[in-house]
């Protein structure tokens, strides 16, 4: 993490200039955030503003949280438009999302690694949260889609094997694209874990970090992949949340097998 610490002062000042209303974030806190999230040094300056806002909001800075609400989460109704959610349901998703991203030790916002814009990353988390919430509540799910939408999965044989056969190729394409968007280091971490079968202690020694850090890195990478694949499938298929949950239950368990195969072929 020496490279990050060398470059972080410049990124810190850039972020500070973009968000002058945020005055409570310190350079050490900013460095801790980007190190814990395993942010690549090459993206620090390009995503300085997003990282500065995320670091401050994750730390509970009141000004940053207010800006995060007004500048990022304000787009939630647009992000969830395809779900046809009622305003009160969108408000509930917003509250759950705020809790997920800003509360906890550490909060999920601490997993933002700046591989893309902060708003795009939050959008993926938001869509997954909405799908999970709607799919887990049959009453809510029945009232979230327009009445003229044709259920896709009702025409399918309920056997999971048939669903896998029909949608397995789309699932692997989505996973391959999500892998391609990861940084080289993240892909190498996955190779060490899934192909070389290195244990977490060995991975930690390779990167000269604590074992807990390696655990956190791998968990964040897997969460990012799952999020990207789930949102890609939902957009491609246009199914309701409850139908999507049936699909994901059928193909989601194949992630690790597919990961190993795709990494080996890369």
pLDDT mean across residues, the chain: 81
Task: Quote the DSSP letter at residue 20.
Answer: T
Task: Say yes or no: 10 and 123 in one domain.
Answer: yes
Q: What pLDDT is recorded for position 207?
A: 83
Q: What pLDDT is recorded for position 156?
A: 38
**What is the distance between the alpha carbons of residues 193 and 195, in angstroms, rounded to a whole number?**
6
Domain total of the chain: 2
Among 177, 190, 181, 164, which Cα is nearest to 252's?
164
Our measurement of the distance from residue 141's CA atom to the centroid of its chain's CA atoms, rounded to an integer in Å, reads 23
Among 143, 137, 144, 142, which Cα is nearest to 154's?
142
Provide the domain limits for residue 126.
2-135
Peptide bond into 156 cis (omega under 30): no
Task: Say yes or no: 206 and 111 in one domain.
Answer: no
Assess contact for 7 and 44: CB atoms under 8 A.
yes
- Is 140 part of any domain? no
User: Would you say the C-alpha torsion 158, 160, 164, 167 has a positive or negative sign?
Assistant: positive
Task: Say yes or no: 227 and 206 in one domain.
Answer: yes
Q: What pLDDT is recorded for position 261?
A: 80
Q: What pLDDT is recorded for position 146?
A: 41
3-state helix, strand, coil in the chain (%, to 5): 75, 0, 25
Angstrom CA distances, 214 to 94, 195, 199, 205, stand at 30, 16, 10, 9
From 17-26, 50-59, 98-107, the region with the lowest mean pLDDT? 98-107
Confidence check: pLDDT of 137 > 90: no
Q: Please tell me which residue, 196 or 13, carries the higher pLDDT value.
A: 13
Residue 166 neighbours by CB under 8 Å, 6+ apart? 156
- Is 189 part of any domain? yes
Assess contact for 102 and 53: CB atoms under 8 A.
no
Task: Say yes or no: 100 and 209 in one domain.
Answer: no
Percent pLDDT > 70 in the chain is 82
Task: Say yes or no: 176 and 122 in one domain.
Answer: no
Q: What is the CA radius of gyration of the chain?
A: 20
Asked which of 135, 156, 185 is the last residue of a domain, the reply is 135
Tens digits of residue pLDDT in 99-120 = 989 987 778 899 898 988 999 9
Q: What pLDDT is recorded for position 135?
A: 57
Tens digits of residue pLDDT in 193-251 = 888 888 888 888 888 888 888 888 888 888 888 888 888 877 777 766 666 777 777 77
Neighbours of 151 (CB within 10 A): 12
Claim: this prediction has a pTM higher than 0.75 = no
**What is the distance between the alpha carbons of residues 40 and 184, in angstroms, rounded to a whole number?**
10
Task: Say yes or no: 27 and 127 in one domain.
Answer: yes
Q: Three-class SS of residue 158?
A: coil
> What is the SS3 string spanning 176-226?
HHHHHCCCHHHHHHHHHHHHCCCCHHHHHHHHCCCHHHHHHHHHHHHHHHH
Task: Say yes or no: 109 and 164 in one domain.
Answer: no
Confidence check: pLDDT of 151 > 50: no
């Amino acid at each position: 993490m020496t490279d990050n610490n060398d470059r972080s002062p410049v990124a810190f000042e850039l972020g500070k200039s973009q968000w002058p209303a945020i005055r409570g974030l310190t350079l050490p806190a900013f460095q801790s955030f980007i190190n814990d999230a395993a942010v690549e040094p090459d993206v620090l300056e390009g995503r300085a503003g997003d990282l500065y806002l995320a670091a401050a909001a994750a730390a509970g800075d009141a000004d940053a949280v207010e800006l995060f609400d007004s500048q990022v989460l304000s787009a939630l109704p647009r992000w969830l438009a395809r779900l046809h959610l009622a305003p009160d349901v969108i408000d509930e998703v917003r509250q759950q999302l705020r809790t997920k991203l800003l509360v906890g030790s550490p909060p999920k916002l601490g997993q933002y690694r700046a591989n893309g814009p902060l708003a795009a990353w939050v959008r993926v988390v938001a869509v997954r949260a909405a799908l999970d919430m709607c799919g887990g509540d049959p009453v809510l799910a029945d009232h979230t889609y327009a009445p003229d939408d044709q259920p896709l999965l009702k025409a399918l044989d309920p056997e999971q094997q048939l669903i896998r056969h029909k949608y397995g190729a789309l699932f692997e394409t989505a996973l391959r694209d999500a892998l391609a968007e990861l940084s080289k280091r993240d892909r190498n971490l996955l190779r060490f874990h899934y192909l070389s079968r290195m244990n977490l202690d060995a991975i930690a020694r390779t990167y000269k970090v604590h074992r807990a850090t390696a655990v956190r890195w791998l968990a964040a990478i897997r969460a990012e992949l799952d999020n990207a694949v789930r949102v890609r499938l939902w957009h491609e298929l246009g199914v309701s949340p409850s139908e999507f949950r049936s699909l994901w239950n059928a193909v989601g368990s194949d992630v690790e097998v597919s990961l190993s195969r795709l990494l080996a072929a890369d």
